[in-house]
Amino acid sequence: MTINCIAVDDEPLALGLICAFIEQTPFLNLVGRYSSAVEALSGLQEHKVDLIFLDIQMPNLNGIELARVLDSRGPNKPRIIFTTAYNQFALEGYKVDALDYLLKPFNYEEFLHASNKALAYAELLQKSNAQPAAEPAAPERVEDDYLFVKVEYQLVRIALNDILYMESLKDYVKIFLKNTEKAILTLSSLKALEEKLPAKRFMRVHRSYIVSLDKINSITRNALQIGKINITVGDQYKEEFGKFLSKWV
């Protein structure tokens, strides 16, 4: 697989180094180099670009602002690896869904590690977009037994059978797993995760909670228990939860 990429940096030495790293990486194909984000915007109209190595501190339009502009392109947007000398932008980089964040000065080993994340993402995307041969419509889609979520600057695979419940925290979701006390924190909405989960195994029972149905230990009229955690069933979810409960009562 080949990933078309561009480099954007207003420092000539830094831009030259990044381009040299790209050119010595077999799966990366350099299609453009730009000294400003404004120039890069024009270049993106001329080339198919999968990945951008992007500086943040630049005049007129900085890297974070460019990332927000590209975010409006939806799932077809190029992915971004930030290259910057300032670590205070790490959270902002995470919010604009960057693949990684390289802190200058970085060496080729660090560059390659970040690039491999881009390669893994591209391979995963290619696999998910692959369309099977046309077949008669099946009553239901066969569900995967795992879920990929964005954790910091990488995609993490989670087995559905390991999930106890999910809790929404504003722009983030905490995913609680069996056999571990440390939850996984992902930048996502609960609604986005709900759409990826099989409805027969998971249910949203509250504005802030999705639960794994087979992990429920006990149920009262207005709440349920998973392990030591009691979760209230929200008013707008009681009817659907009641349908589930009626199968067993």
Q: What is the pTM of this model?
A: 0.58
User: What CATH number should be reported for the domain whose range is 3-127?
Assistant: 3.40.50.2300
Interacting residues of 218 by C-beta distance below 8 A, sequence separation 6+: 224, 225
CATH 3.40.50.2300 domain extents, the chain: 3-127
The confidence score (pLDDT) of residue 74 equals 66
CATH 2.40.50.1020 domain extents, the chain: 146-246
Distance, in Å, from the CA atom of 6 to the CA atom of 83, rounded to the nearest integer, reads 12
Residue-wise burial string across 4-30, b where 16 or more C-beta atoms lie within 10 A, e elsewhere:
ebbbbbbbeebbebbbebbeebeebeb
Residues of the chain with pLDDT under 70: 74-75, 88-95, 128-144, 153, 247-249
The confidence score (pLDDT) of residue 163 equals 94
Burial class (CB in 10 A: 0-12, 13-18, 19+), 248: exposed
The confidence score (pLDDT) of residue 12 equals 95
The confidence score (pLDDT) of residue 32 equals 95
- Taking the CA atoms of 105, 109, 114 and 115 in sequence, report the sign of the dihedral they define: positive
Separation in Å, CA 61 to CA 42, 96, 99, 109: 13, 15, 20, 29
According to the CATH classification, is domain 146-246 in 2.40.50.1020? yes
The confidence score (pLDDT) of residue 166 equals 94
With beta carbons less than 8 A apart as the criterion, state whether 31 and 4 touch.
yes
Q: How far is CA 60 from the centre of its chain?
A: 28
**Percent of the chain surpassing pLDDT 90:** 39
